[in-house]
Structure 1
Amino acid sequence: MVDIFAGWFSALGLSETFDLVLANIVVGIIMIVVAFLSKFLFEKLLIKPIEIIVRKSAFKWDDHLIKHKLLYKIALMIPAIVIALFARAFPAIEGLIYKLVTTYLIFIAAVVIDSFLDVFTSAYQSLETSRDKPIKSYITVVKIMIYIVAGVIAVSVLTGISPWGILSGIGAMTAVLLVVFRDSLLGLVASIQISKNNLVSIGDWIEVPKFQADGDVIDITLTTIRIQNWDKTITTIPSYALISESFKNWKGMFQAGGRRIKRSVFIDNSSIRFLDDELFDRLYRIEILRPYLESRKKEIEKFNRENEIDVSEPVNGRRMTNIGTFRAYVTAYLRNHPGTNKDMIIMVRQLQPADTGLPLEIYCFSKDTSWVNYESLQSDIFDHIFASMPHFGLRFFQNPSGRDVRALGDLFVSGKISVPRPAGGGSSATINNYGDRPLDNQQ
């Protein structure tokens, strides 16, 4: 082919040296165009129809072929095969072309096997038995061995040395390499694992407690990862630390489209009571709470009537409480709030009571995952909860402050609290007409 083009250029009056160089360039361009055109046609005429058939098939295991792009990785071999067919057109470098093509095909074969193992792993993980017998770690070891073997064979092809000779040389150098390049080798292996398993990417928000790192990843190198903390300081940690130590990556939160709100308010236990008619009528005017009150009242009345409960005593049968109604109200408020993610969990629950009162936990997710907007939404929600709590006859628990002590002193001065008389005479101290109810006859 080169001679044909050289003859054409020579007929045009070009010099013998120049027409040969120009002919080699033209043939090289044709080779590259044909190589990539072959790959393009292979993808469009063969892979695309196969993808359509796979997506329409009732089988699920073949979907993993598309997910891991196995066929597209096989297509990477097409350009190398075409270049190998054109190698005879360049007699001077034919041997070099064969070596480079062979090396390329070796690594592409390793990539194809890697992808096939990913397909096998995904198909296996869809089975119930994979929960008890995971194989991902074993597959990872197999992949490492495949790439090591591919590397040895590739070096053997390029250098002409026997693979066994290369392996024996590597064995002799292993001890020296482990001592001199320990951190680099650990970083190299860690970088491969991080990249392959998609553990960390630039821009991810991660927390590494051991190194007091909490911020965005700004750089990933062979041996180190740089994290810009929220106080704008920069922490540099070794890559292998992310493999050997635990860390938290917030990427899943951003991908899910919801950031968790998980915070408790503490209710004063003494403010919890049954709903009386007056409080029921007042709460009935709350629009988002009205459907709950109507359905709950009918349910309770039906239960008490069918079981012939004596409702003259409050503790008999079933009754609504202000704390239960408040939980229903907060749940309805969260479900109607424009800032919460309705596709994720929305829950208001009681936690274990303690000496700080009854914890009422709000558990939901915000739509906006950015930090500033998330904190603003969370504050708005709890502002409303704190402000609405007194409407249900509930009090927020807090330890006495200096203001409470001064208020107690003012009561003594005003005479609203009388000091107990000495033993043997008089009545006990009383509190008259202060607070929600008088505390009579309490020492």
Structure 2
Amino acid sequence: MIFALLDALNDIATFKGITRRMPIKSFVQLIKLFTFFVGVVVSMSILANESPVIFLSGLGVATGFVMLVFKDTILGFVAGIQLSANRMISLNDWIQMDSYGANGTVEEISLTTVKVRNFDNTVSMLPAYALVQNAFINWQGMSDSGGRRIKRSVNVDVTSIRFLSDEEIEKLKSIRILRQYIYEKSHEISDYNQEMSEEPAFGNLRQMTNLGMFRAYINAYLKANKDIHQYMLIMVRQLEPTPEGIPLQVYAFTNNTDWAYYEGVQADLFDHIYSIMPLFGLRPYQMFTSNDA
């Protein structure tokens, strides 16, 4: 009867969504285990017509044997309490634990195991103690934040980087989102070059480069894109050169964390970046193939 009442309370908590914030099932199992233990001790004391204290005192002798035989169960029991008390995971959280091949949504949390529904619809049963002892990723913070990170680079062919001519700069002014940057950068460079007027050697003067202009364009494009979260970090940075060219990294967040939506936004963004590169006189790096001969 007590177990039925506990199950009913667990079902009510699940229906009302309380288990989303706190895994009630773990506590229900803990209460069941304690109730069962008390029931066994009381029953044995009644049958033997002895005080329950006598049976409890005898537990010390069997402790070592019990810990050896039920080591995994005890570890899982303690870990389950830690997971529940510290709220390390909750129902419907997206977690990833590569060592156990788990990458999906938490469906059930018990005292000894955690059930994960992977994205390929397979099910992983993780020992609760493994989540305490080993590293895992809980992606729920990302989902709750409302933004999903894009962090991808396009490798620029080094041989295509050069200074821009005045004619090219005038042509690029036709791009609305670049006008402010060109205006401010032109004045900055002009002021610097005036200070160097006494030594007008080519190497002493500053000029706009096609790579710098392209980087400014991508940054402005991201800030004008309705699919990019405007209250999170937006950055386009140049990474250390590699044998595959100069990586130009896009770092931004979509304003929706849905996987399909995120992949669509990211693909559209880089489709545009690769397509617009020739306008700046740049080429993406690509390994030589037989088609290039």
TM-score by length of 2: 0.79
Provide the residue aligned with 2:266 in structure 1.
378
- Is the aligned partner of 1:220 residue 2:102? no
| Distance (whole Å) between structure 2 residues aligned to residue 277 and residue 309 of structure 1 | 22
Is this contact kept in 2: 1:309–1:317, CA < 8 A? no
Greater C-alpha Rg: 1
CA distance in structure 1 between the partners assigned to 2:209 and 2:52 by the alignment: 85
**In 2, Cα distance between equivalents of 1:311 and 1:337:** 41
Tell me the CA shift for residue 308 of structure 1.
Answer: 2.2
Percent sequence identity over aligned pairs:
45
CA RMSD, Structure 1 to Structure 2 (Å):
2.0
Q: Deviation string for 1:246-273 (max 9, x for gaps)?
A: 1001011011111110000000000001
Q: Structure 2: how far apart are the matches of 1:166 and 1:307? A: 95
The structure with higher relative contact order (CA 8 Å, sep 6+) is 2
**What is the CA–CA distance in structure 1 between the aligned matches of 2:126 and 2:63, rounded to whole Å?**
26
Contact 1:266 1:357 in 2 (8 A): yes
Code of the aligned partner of 2:195: E
The one-letter code matched in structure 2 to 1:335 is: K
Alignment partner of 1:270 is 2:159: yes
Is structure 2 residue 245 aligned with structure 1 residue 354?
no
Residue identity matched to 2:240: Q
Quote the residue 1:179 is aligned against.
Answer: 68
For 1:70-89, list aligned pairs within 5 A. none
Whether contact under 8 Å (2:196, 2:204) holds in the other structure is: no
Q: Could you list the runs of 5+ residues in structure 2 that have no partner in the other structure?
A: 1-33, 43-50
For the 8 Å contact 1:202–1:220, the answer to whether it is kept is: yes
For residues 312 and 239 of structure 1, what CA distance do their matches in structure 2 show? 70
Instruction: Describe the superposition over 1:176-198 as per-residue Cα deviations: whole angstroms up to 9, x where unpaired.
Output: 22123222211111111101111
Q: Aligned-pair distance for 1:161? A: 6.2
Structure 2: distance between partners of 1:257 and 1:399: 37
User: Which of 138, 142, 162 is the equivalent residue of 1:253?
Assistant: 142
From 158, 168, 185, the equivalent of 1:296 is 185
Report the secondary structure of 2:250's partner residue. Answer: strand
Q: For residues 325-362 of structure 1, what are the alpha-carbon distances to aligned partners after superposition, in whole Å with 9 as ceiling and x for unaligned? A: 11111011111110111111111111111110101010
User: What do the CA deviations read for 1:100-120 (whole angstroms, capped 9, x no partner)?
Assistant: xxxxxxxxxxxxxxxxxxxxx
Query: Are 2:128 and 1:239 equivalent residues in the alignment?
Result: yes
Question: In the alignment, which residue of structure 1 is the partner of 2:225?
Answer: 337
C-alpha distance after superposition, 1:120-167 (max 9, x if no partner)? xxxxxxxxxxxxxxxxxxxxxxxxxxxxxxx9xxx8xx98867xx787
* Greater fraction strand: 2
Aligned to 2:100: 211
**Residues 319 and 166 of structure 1: CA distance in aligned 2, closer, same or farther (over 3 Å):** farther
Q: What's the TM-score once normalised by structure 1's chain length?
A: 0.53
2:176 corresponding residue in structure 1: 287
Q: Which residue of the other structure, out of 385, 393, 408, is the alignment partner of 2:281?
A: 393
Cα distance in 2 for residues equivalent to 1:384 and 1:403: 24
Measured against aligned partners, the alpha-carbon deviations of 1:288-307 in whole angstroms (never above 9, x if no partner) come to 01000000100110111123
1:214-256: CA deviations, max 9, x gaps?
1111122221112121211111121110011110010110111
The one-letter amino acid paired with 1:374 is Y
Mapping for residues 92-171 of structure 1, pairs under 5 Å:
168-171=57-60
**Partners in 1 of 2:269 and 2:58 — Cα distance?**
67
**Where in structure 1 are there 5+ consecutive unaligned residues?**
1-150, 406-443
**How many aligned positions are there?**
247
Q: Is the partner of 2:204 in helix, strand or coil?
A: coil
